[in-house]
Amino acid sequence: MTPEHPDSPPATNGHALPIDWQGVPEDVIARMELAYQEIQRRDSQAEQRAWRKDALVQRLGLVIVVLVGVLVWLVLTKHQVKAFVQTVQVTEEGTLVQLGVPQGLYDYRPPDGVYMEMVAQWVRWTRWRGEDERMMRVQWAWAYRHTCGVAHTWLKAVEEREKPLKLGSKRVAVDIKSVTKLAAPESYQVLWEERLTDKTAPTVKTQLWTGSFTVGRITLHTMDDLLENRLGVCITAYDVSPQS
């Protein structure tokens, strides 16, 4: 409120008391007017600063909410990986040439050779019995990463029954004879020979085995899974038996 003019009526009801402006120099009145304007300007700036502060607090709150949401999403997805497949060709000069564009891992269809190699390795490492416990653990970890569906349950039952990680006197060497594709979709047959030796027996026993394997794809959740199973291929079911 500006200072009251000498001709203005006195203020009442709690307002400022009337001022007798008679005899007040003009320069004093001018300074008072300037002081009042400065007070008004400062009050206006204080209101603007308070408004900007409130707006900043609101923005910071929104940023915090977004960051918390991002952190929660990262925690929920930190074990998940996304892989892509890029097909390449090796030229006669030994250089790699990219063919097409990268595909999502599960959009890419592996050729039969990938599955045939996988089932052969699975047989080697689940049927082999040796003296190196560390090697046995590595092989069975690989086998589990390449086993899915009901075959995973079956393999777990074999481990519990035969206890391959507990070293005994029996040793089994595995020699893959053939891997062929069957007429049934996504199915392959493996023929192999096992040579069994036992510390308590002087002879070597030889036995031919055959197995039918159905294959599929497995979801990879961690980087370790991806490094051990780059294409996400797995055995979904199998049946093995000795040949007479």
pLDDT one-digit tens code per residue, 59-76: 655 555 655 565 555 555
Q: Which residue has the tokens 């199998």?
A: 238
* Among 159, 154, 125, residue whose Cα is nearest residue 139: 125
The one-letter amino acid code at 89 reads: Q
Q: Which residue has the tokens 């031919």?
A: 208
Asked if pLDDT for residue 43 goes beyond 70, the answer is no
The structure tokens listed for 38 are 């400065």
Q: What angle do CA 94, 95, 98 make, to 5 degrees?
A: 135
Write out 171-184 in H/E/C secondary structure: EEEEEEEEEEECCC
Instruction: Give the whole-angstrom CA distance, residue 206 versus residue 221.
Output: 40
More confident residue, 241 or 203: 241
Work out the average pLDDT over 71-91: 59
Work out the average pLDDT over 205-220: 93
pLDDT value of position 212: 97
Are 106 and 232 spatial neighbours (Cβ–Cβ below 8 Å)? Answer: yes
The structure tokens listed for 144 are 């589990």
- H/E stretch holding 98: strand 96-104
Work out the average pLDDT over 74-100: 63
Grade residue 108 by pLDDT with cuts at 50, 70 and 90: confident
Asked if pLDDT for residue 122 goes beyond 70, the answer is yes
pLDDT value of position 192: 97
pLDDT value of position 7: 47
Q: What angle do CA 145, 149, 155 make, to 5 degrees?
A: 60
Instruction: Write phi, then psi, for 44 (nearest 5 degrees).
Output: -65, -45
